[in-house]
A and B are shown apart, each in its own frame.
Chain A
Amino acid sequence: MADQKQEQPMQAATSIDAIDKRNLDWFLDKGVQVLIFIGGISAIIFVLGIFVFITKEGFDFVLSRFDLAEFFTSPNWRPTSSANPTYGALALIVGTASVTGTAMIVAIPFSLGAAIYIGEFATGKTREALKILVELLAAIPSVVWGFIGLSIMNALIIDLFNVPIGLNIFNAGVILGLMAAPIMTTIAEDALKAVPDEYRAAAEAMGATRWQVIRKVVLPAAKNGLVAAVLLGVGRGFGETMAVLMATGHSVQIPDSIFDSVRALTATIAAELGETAVGSDHYGALFTLGIFLFIVTFLINLTADLVVRGIKKK
Chain B
Amino acid sequence: MYNHDKSMETPATGTTNGLAIRTEKLSLWYGTFQALFDVDFDVKQGIITALIGPSGCGKSTLLRCVNRINERLGYVRTEGKVDVMGLNVYAPDVELAQLRKQVGMVFQRPNPLPISIRDNILFGYHLHVPGSKKQPKAEKEQIVEEALRQVLLWDQVKDRLDRKATGLSLEEQQKLCIARLLPVKPAVLLMDEPCSALDPKATEAVEELIWQLRGTYSILIVTHNMAQARRASDECAFMLMGKLVEHTKTEEMFVTPANQQTADYIEGRYG
Contacts and interface: CB of A to CB of B under 8 A. Distances in A.
Contacts of B177: 202
B109 A208 contact: no
Interface stretch (A107-115, A213-221, A263-271): A213-221
B58 interface: no
B114 to A, nearest CB: 5
B69 A204 contact: yes
B132 interface: no
B164 A314 contact: yes
A204 B124 CA distance: 10
Contacts of B107: 198, 201-202, 205
B100 A205 contact: yes
Q: Identify which of A199, A205, A209 gathers the most chain B CB atoms within 10 Å of its CB.
A: A205
Contact of A207 (B74, B111, B128): B128
Given A123-B74, A314-B164, A207 B96 contact: yes
B144 to A, nearest CB: 15
A199 B97 contact: no
Interface residues of B, number: 29
Contacts of B74: 123
Interface in A195-235: 196, 198-209, 212, 216-217, 220-221
Contact of B127 (A202, A207, A220): A207
A198 B111 contact: yes
Nearest to B125: A206
Nearest to A196: B111
Nearest to A221: B114
Contacts of A216: 123
A209 B128 CA distance: 11
Nearest to B64: A205
A196 B114 CA distance: 10
A203 B96 contact: no
A202 B113 contact: yes
B181 A206 contact: yes
B109 A203 contact: no
A216 B114 CA distance: 11
Contact of B124 (A200, A206, A209): A206
A209 B111 CA distance: 18
B101 interface: yes
Interface in B94-148: 96-101, 104-105, 107, 109, 111-115, 123-124, 127-128
A286 to B, nearest CB: 48
Which of A123, A208, A220 gathers most chain B CB within 10 Å? A208
Contacts of A205: 67, 69, 100, 104-105, 107
A202 B128 contact: no
Contacts of A203: 113, 123
Interface of B: 67, 69, 72, 74, 96-101, 104-105, 107, 109, 111-115, 123-124, 127-128, 164, 166, 177, 180-181, 184
13 contacts: A123-B74, A198-B111, A199-B114, A203-B113, A205-B105, A206-B100, A206-B127, A206-B184, A207-B99, A207-B127, A207-B128, A209-B97, A216-B123
Interface of A: 123, 196, 198-209, 212, 216-217, 220-221, 314
